[in-house]
Amino acid sequence: MNEFSDSLLAWFAGAARDLPWRRTRDPYAILVSELMLQQTQVTTVIDYFERWMKRFPDVRTLADAAEANVLRMWEGLGYYARARHLHRAAKAIVQAGGGFPRTLDEIRALPGVGPYTAGAVASFAFGIRAPMVDANIARVIARLRNIREPIDSSAGRKLIWQQAASMLPTDGEQARAHNGALMELGATLCKPGEPPCRHCPVKRWCRAKDPATLPAKEPRRAMIELEENCGWILQHGRVFLETSNGSRGPGMWRLPVIAVPARRSPIHESHYPVTHHRVHLRVFPAPRPARIRKNQRWIEIARLSETAMTAPHRRALTSLLDLDGVRRKLVPPRAGGSRRVPVVR
DNA sequence: AACTCGGGGAG
DNA sequence: CTCCCAGAGTT
């Protein structure tokens, strides 16, 4: 071991956060945590991880679960393809005999597992000497080596990964701690913006000229405005929903898209961001559909809690149901009258 | 190499 | 508003 590793690992031993997925080497648990952590902050993931492990404690339980339940457990985390990938990965592992893949290449072949996640699972679960580069490690390495190439460019990624591999201790167990320590350094100390270099355990080896300007990144894409007009269709205690079809994948339910009704004002309006889009959501009262398409369903209000929905649509629906509840108390349906629940407007 | 993911948290 | 986040899949 060199001095750099000594300093880094000594610091890590005293500074490591106590995170649930650091208390285990169960490869399934590590895989779950890594999929959840893709593009998602640690503090957001902790509760989801613990709920998930309680509900789907092992690969077989997850493989046997219905996709609707899997997506419902993921609701609020975003990027729902990750949940479907994790579900597919569990099915693939069970189908292959139930033993968790134990080599970097086999782990990399699982759905939803890219270069980062493969390295993380191999290293954290099995102590395999594998590099891993996430946003934290990319930032730390860009600063340590004063790499000005944008880290999200092809050339920049290549440089960072080469450095990550070359810095790795020979021993697998030490490499495991090294990966965790670099990540922790980036998450807690070598943060974006102006980092507190005074307290850095490895500042002696850092070549960053101007840490605040590192890492460089490609300019981000322009925001795209989207308008979304949905229908509020309520009848017999059921609400009419649809699930997206096509590339966005099925399973997440939402209010049905409708043509904009003329001369009506929306009963709900909200804005929400999704990646580089900004969506302007408007909900209008709408008539009961003449035909029900394949991706559409009436869903009992009582069963909405077990229906996976994107967060903005869940919020819209909840607020509209609350409003409807209020109106129904003020104007109770006439006895013997129409069974149709009055449309709120 | 560029686009998409119908995300979410923090400043 | 802004930027960032334990990225990966598709085209």
Average pLDDT over residues A108-137: 97
Strand B nucleotides below 7 A of a protein CB?
Answer: 1, 3-10
> CA–C1' distance A278–C2 (Å)?
14
- pTM given for the model: 0.92
pLDDT, mean over chain A: 90
Which is more confidently placed, A204 or A329? A204
Q: Residue closest to B3, CA→C1'?
A: A221
Average pLDDT over residues A36-61: 96
> Cα–Cα distances in Å, from A4 out to A7, A21, A90, A144, A261?
5, 26, 39, 11, 66
Has A34 been annotated as catalytic?
A: yes
Give the Cα-Cα-Cα angle A63, A295, A73 (nearest 5 degrees). 35
Q: Where does the pLDDT of residue A27 fall: very low under 50, low under 70, confident under 90, or very high at 90 and above?
A: very high
Average pLDDT over residues A249-270: 87
Q: Which domains does chain A have, with CATH numbers?
A: 2-213 (1.10.340.30), 224-340 (3.90.79.10)
Strand segments (E) across A154-247: 224-232, 234-235, 238-243
Q: Where does the pLDDT of residue A334 fall: very low under 50, low under 70, confident under 90, or very high at 90 and above?
A: very low
Does position A88 have pLDDT exceeding 50, yes or no? yes
Q: Per residue in A179-188, pLDDT tens?
A: 999 999 999 9
Task: Name, in order, each residue with C-beta under 8 angstroms of A65's C-beta and a sequence gap of 6 or more.
Answer: A56, A87
Average pLDDT over residues A276-296: 92
Residue A180 CB coordination number (10 Å):
19
The pLDDT assigned to A341 comes to 31
Q: Residue closest to B5, CA→C1'?
A: A79
User: Exactly one of A34, A67, A194, A269 is catalytic; which is it?
Assistant: A34
Does position A118 have pLDDT exceeding 60, yes or no? yes
Percent of chain A exceeding pLDDT 70 equals 92
> CA–C1' distance A329–C5 (Å)?
44
Q: Is A231 helix (H, G, I), strand (E, B) or coil?
A: strand
Average pLDDT over residues A28-45: 96
> Cα–Cα distances in Å, from A283 out to A156, A170, A269, A309, A336?
44, 59, 6, 16, 30
The pLDDT assigned to A260 comes to 82
Q: Where does the pLDDT of residue A264 fall: very low under 50, low under 70, confident under 90, or very high at 90 and above?
A: confident
